[in-house]
Amino acid sequence: MFATAAAALLVIMCLALVRAFRGPKIYDRILAVNMFGTKTVLLIAVYGFMTGRPEFLDLGIFYALINFVGVIAALKFIERLDEYDEQEER
Amino acid sequence: MMSSQLPALQVVLPLLGAPFCFLLWRYPRWSWALATLLSWSAFGVAIMLLIQVQNAGTIEYAFGGWQAPWGIEYVVDQLNVLVLLIVSGIAAVVFPYSWTSVQREIDPEQQSLFFTSMLLCLAGLLGITIAGDAFNLFVLLEISSLSTYTMISMGRDRRALTASFQYLIMGTIGATFIIIGVGILYMLTGTLNMQDLATRIPDLGTSRASQVAFGFLITGIGLKLAMFPLHLWLPNAYAYAPSAASAFIAATATKVAVYVMVRYVFSIFGVGFSFETMHIQWLFVPVSVFAILFTSIVALFQRDIKRMLAYSSVAQIGYMLLGIGLVNVTGLSAALLHLFNHALMKGALFLAMGAVCYRIGNTFIDSMHGLGKQMPWTMAAFVVGGLSIVGVPLTTGFVSKWVLIQGAIENGWWPVVAVILVASLIAMLYIWRVVEAAYMKPRPEGAESITEAPASLLIPLWLLAAANIYFGANAQFSMELAQSAAKTLFNSAVVGF
Amino acid sequence: MTPESLLITALVLPLVGGALTLCLSKFQNARDGATIFTALVLLFVIIQLIGTTLSGGTVEWQLFEMLPGLSIEFRIEPLGMMFAGIAALLWPINSLYSVGYMRGNNEDNQTRFYLFFAIAIFGVMGVAFAGNLLTLFIFYEVLTLSTFPLVTHKGNDTALAGGRIYLSILLTTSIGLLLPAIIWTWTVAGTTDFSAGGILYGKISGVPLTILTLLFIFGIGKAAVMPVHRWLPAAMVAPTPVSALLHAVAVVKAGVFSVVKIVVYIIGIDTLSAAPWSSLLWILPGLTIVVASVVAIKQDNLKKRLAYSTIGQLSYVVLGALLIAPLSIKGAALHIVAHAFGKITLFFAAGSIYTSCKKTDVSQLDGIGWRMPFTMTAFTIGAISMIGLPPAAGFISKWYLLMGAFQVEQLVAVMVIITSTLLNTAYFMPVVYAAWFRKESGETILTYGEAPWPVVVALMLTAIITILLFLFPGIPFTLISAIPL
Amino acid sequence: MDSIFTDILAGALGRYNYWVVIVLMMAGFYVVIASTNLVKKIVGLNIFQTSVFIMYISIGKISGGTAPIVWANAELYSNPLPHVLILTAIVVGVATTALGLSLIMRIKHAYGSVEEDEILALSQAEDEDE
Amino acid sequence: MLLCEQQTPRGLNQLPRKKTEMELAVNITLLLMLCATVFAVVKLQSLFAIVMLFGIYSLLSAMIFVALDAVDVAFTEAAVGAGISTVLMLATLVTTGRWKKKPERSGLLPLFVVTITGAALVWGTLDMPEYGNPANPAHHHVADRYIAESPTEIGIPNMVTSVLASYRGFDTLGEVIVVFTALVGVLSLLQVRRPRTFARKQDNRPDTHRRRPYPVLQVVALIMMPFIIVFALYVQFHGDFGPGGGFQAGVIFAVAFILYTLTYGLDDSLALTPLPALKILAAGGVIIYGGTGVVSMLLGGNFLDYNVLAANPVSGQHIGIIVIELGVGITVASVLITVFYAFVTRAERNRAGEKQVDLPNKAD
Amino acid sequence: MQIAVDLVSWLFLSMGMFLGLTGAYGILKFPDFYTRVHAASISDTLCTACFVIGLALQSGFNLVTAKLFMILILLWLTGPAASHALVRAANTAGLKPVTEKKD
Count of domains observed in chain E? 2
Band of residue B19 on the pLDDT scale cut at 50, 70, 90: very high
Per-domain residue ranges of chain A: 2-80
Which CATH number belongs to the domain containing residue D124 in this structure? Answer: 1.10.287.3510
Using a CB-CB cut-off of 8 Å, the residues of chain F touching A18 are 28
pLDDT single digits (tens) C404-463: 888 888 888 888 888 888 998 988 888 888 888 887 765 555 667 777 788 888 888 889
Using a CB-CB cut-off of 8 Å, the residues of chain A touching E255 are 65-66, 69
Residue E145, domain member (yes or no): no
Q: How far is D14 from chain E (nearest CA, A)?
A: 5
Find the length of chain A: 90
Residue E94, domain member (yes or no): yes
Asked if E14 and D46 come within 8 Å (Cβ–Cβ), the reply is no
Asked if E63 and A53 come within 8 Å (Cβ–Cβ), the reply is no
Among B2, B10, B12, the strongest candidate for a mutation testing the E interface, having the largest count of E CBs within 10 A, is B12
Separation between Cα atoms, residue D74 and residue E317, nearest integer Å:
25
Band of residue E353 on the pLDDT scale cut at 50, 70, 90: low
Peptide bond into B7 cis (omega under 30): no
CA C80 to chain CA centroid, nearest Å: 13
- The contacts of residue C265 (CB under 8 Å, 6+ apart) are C77, C194, C195, C196, C198, C199
Nearest to B150 among E168, E184, E287 (CB): E184
Chain B residue closest to D120 (CA)? B162
Residue C359: which of C291, C431, C417, C408 has the closest Cα? C431
Domain end call among E102, E129, E164: E102
* Surface of E (303-342) touching A: CB under 8 A: none
Least confident of B203-207, C91-95, D52-56: B203-207
* Surface of E (308-347) touching D: CB under 8 A: 332, 339, 342-343, 346
Residue E338: the pLDDT is: 94
Chain B residue closest to C63 (CA)? B473
pLDDT single digits (tens) B126-166: 999 999 999 999 999 999 999 999 999 998 888 899 999 99
Residue E217 confidence (pLDDT) above 70: yes
Chains B, E in contact, 3 or more Cβ pairs below 8 Å = yes
Q: Which value, in Å, is the radius of gyration of the alpha carbons in chain D? A: 22
Separation between Cα atoms, residue B265 and residue B335, nearest integer Å:
13
Using a CB-CB cut-off of 8 Å, the residues of chain E touching A76 are 262
Asked if B399 and C66 come within 8 Å (Cβ–Cβ), the reply is yes
Asked if E6 and F64 come within 8 Å (Cβ–Cβ), the reply is no
Q: Report residue E274: phi and psi, to 5°.
A: -65, 145
Asked if D66 and A56 come within 8 Å (Cβ–Cβ), the reply is no
Residues E98 and E160 in one domain: no
Burial class of B199 by CB neighbour count within 10 A (0 to 12, 13 to 18, 19+) = middle
Peptide bond into C391 cis (omega under 30): yes
Q: Quick one: average pLDDT of B272-282?
A: 87
Nearest to E302 among B63, B109, B146 (CB): B63
Please give the span between the terminal C-alpha atoms of chain A, in angstroms, as a whole number. 39
Q: Quick one: average pLDDT of C79-91?
A: 88
**Region at C224 (left for phi over 0; alpha for psi -120 to 50; beta for the rest):** left
Task: Return the SS3 of C75.
Answer: strand
Nearest to C137 among B390, B393, B405 (CB): B393
Using a CB-CB cut-off of 8 Å, the residues of chain E touching F94 are 208
Using a CB-CB cut-off of 8 Å, the residues of chain C touching B424 are 175-176
Nearest to E223 among F7, F60, F77 (CB): F77
Asked if B410 and C187 come within 8 Å (Cβ–Cβ), the reply is yes
Residue C386: which of C298, C308, C276, C323 has the closest Cα? C308
| D30 at A interface, C-beta within 8 A | no
Burial class of C472 by CB neighbour count within 10 A (0 to 12, 13 to 18, 19+) = exposed
Average pLDDT, rounded, for chain B: 90
Q: How far is E169 from chain A (nearest CA, A)?
A: 24
Q: How far is D52 from chain E (nearest CA, A)?
A: 11
| E23 at A interface, C-beta within 8 A | yes
Asked if E15 and A52 come within 8 Å (Cβ–Cβ), the reply is yes
Residue E310, domain member (yes or no): yes
Range of the domain at B444: 280-497
Count of domains observed in chain B? 1
Asked if E258 and A54 come within 8 Å (Cβ–Cβ), the reply is no
- The contacts of residue E204 (CB under 8 Å, 6+ apart) are none
Separation between Cα atoms, residue B30 and residue D107, nearest integer Å:
31
Using a CB-CB cut-off of 8 Å, the residues of chain F touching E209 are 92-93
pLDDT tens string, chain A, 90 residues long: the values are 778 888 888 999 998 888 888 877 888 888 888 889 999 999 988 888 888 777 788 888 889 989 999 988 888 887 766 544 444 444
Band of residue C23 on the pLDDT scale cut at 50, 70, 90: confident
Beta-strand relationship, C70-75 and B73-76: unpaired
| D119 at B interface, C-beta within 8 A | yes
Do residues B441 and B433 lie in contact, with contact meaning Cβ atoms separated by under 8 Å?
no
Chains D, B in contact, 3 or more Cβ pairs below 8 Å = yes
Residue E195: the pLDDT is: 63
Residue C107 confidence (pLDDT) above 50: yes
Separation between Cα atoms, residue B242 and residue C147, nearest integer Å:
38
Chain E and chain F share a number of CB contacts under 8 A equal to: 41
The secondary structure of C214-234 as a DSSP string is HHHHHH-GGG--TTS-THHHH
Q: How far is B270 from chain E (nearest CA, A)?
A: 20
Separation between Cα atoms, residue C481 and residue E125, nearest integer Å:
78
pLDDT single digits (tens) E77-95: 998 888 899 999 998 888 8
Range of the domain at D114: 2-129
Residue B285: which of B330, B258, B318, B329 has the closest Cα? B318
Residues E77 and E169 in one domain: no
Count of domains observed in chain D? 1
Least confident of C22-26, C75-79, E203-207, E334-338: E203-207
Chain A residue closest to D67 (CA)? A53
Residue C172: which of C184, C161, C180 has the closest Cα? C180
The secondary structure of B39-68 as a DSSP string is HHHHHHHHHHHHHHHHHH--EEEEGGGPPT
Residue E142, domain member (yes or no): no
Asked if E259 and A69 come within 8 Å (Cβ–Cβ), the reply is yes
The secondary structure of C398-411 as a DSSP string is HHHHHHHHHHTT-H
Separation between Cα atoms, residue D126 and residue E3, nearest integer Å:
76
Peptide bond into C68 cis (omega under 30): no
Do residues F16 and A5 lie in contact, with contact meaning Cβ atoms separated by under 8 Å?
yes
Nearest to B12 among E175, E279, E290 (CB): E290
Percent of chain B whose pLDDT exceeds 90: 58
Nearest to E17 among A17, A37, A52 (CB): A52
Sign of CA dihedral C465, C471, C475, C478: positive
Asked if E151 and D90 come within 8 Å (Cβ–Cβ), the reply is no
Q: Report residue A32: phi and psi, to 5°.
A: -60, -45
Least confident of C3-7, C404-408, D123-127, E352-356: E352-356
Give the number of other Cβ atoms within 10 Å of residue B167's Cβ: 27
| E34 at A interface, C-beta within 8 A | no
Residue A89: the pLDDT is: 43
ipTM, two decimals: 0.88
Using a CB-CB cut-off of 8 Å, the residues of chain A touching E93 are 77, 81
Residue B335 confidence (pLDDT) above 90: yes
Q: Report residue C65: phi and psi, to 5°.
A: -100, 125
Burial class of D124 by CB neighbour count within 10 A (0 to 12, 13 to 18, 19+) = exposed
Using a CB-CB cut-off of 8 Å, the residues of chain E touching B109 are 363
Q: Quick one: average pLDDT of F50-73?
A: 85
Q: How far is B319 from chain E (nearest CA, A)?
A: 26
Average pLDDT, rounded, for chain D: 85
pLDDT single digits (tens) B428-437: 889 988 988 8
Give chains near A: 3+ CB pairs under 8 A.
Answer: D, E, F
